[in-house]
Amino acid sequence: MQDRHVPLFDWLRRLLPGPIPSGPLARGTRALERGCFDDAEALFVQALGLAATPGGIAAVRNKRAILAVHRRDLARAVDELIEALAAEPCSPAANTTLGNLLLESGDVDEAVAHYEFALFVDADYAPAYHNLGVAMHRLGRRGEAVRNLRKATRLETRMKRF
């Protein structure tokens, strides 16, 4: 069960104008955010063909997993995350997405472990702080939830300035 504030913030984030993305991964991400799933999939196929590093492969596979979640194809999402983590086990994005799947399935403690690992790898990865805050809220740990959500907001604001 998703917290009711998450869709509102996601909707508001999509309304904010951003720079015009270049490259198939960035354009696919933008298409995904706008709900253009077929366009996103085609762009992610291109991006995967261009990915030259383990981190690049993991980034594309993670986005493909998120696309599969939006299409309610959880088996494909899991397959994509397995491929992402096989390419780059320390991918903060893939570990966070895996945490999200665990959180949605009700395994909050395991989700927290994945968010914390993502933050161990990249202490400035805002989505992991945000999702860790949501998980802490579900566990009834309100103070930790607020601290993590505030940290995510600070990091997102800082990143948008550059």
Per-residue pLDDT tens, the chain, 162 aa: give them.
Answer: 455 666 666 666 556 655 566 899 999 999 999 999 999 999 999 999 999 999 999 999 999 999 999 999 999 999 999 999 999 999 999 999 999 999 999 999 999 999 999 999 999 999 999 999 999 999 999 999 999 999 999 998 876 654
**What per-residue confidence (pLDDT) applies to 39?**
97
> Which pLDDT value is given to residue 162?
47
pLDDT value at position 37? 97
pTM of the predicted model as reported, rounded to 2 decimal places: 0.82
Contact of 88 with 55, CB cutoff 8 Å: yes
The residue range of the domain holding 49 is: 17-89
Contact 146, 133 (CB under 8 A): yes
Same domain? 100 vs 153: yes
Q: What is the pLDDT of residue 25?
A: 96
| 147 located within any domain | yes
Number of domains in the chain: 2
Q: What is the pLDDT of residue 22?
A: 82
DSSP 106-140: T-HHHHHHHHHHHHHH-TT-HHHHHHHHHHHHHTT
CATH number for the domain spanning 127: value is 1.25.40.10
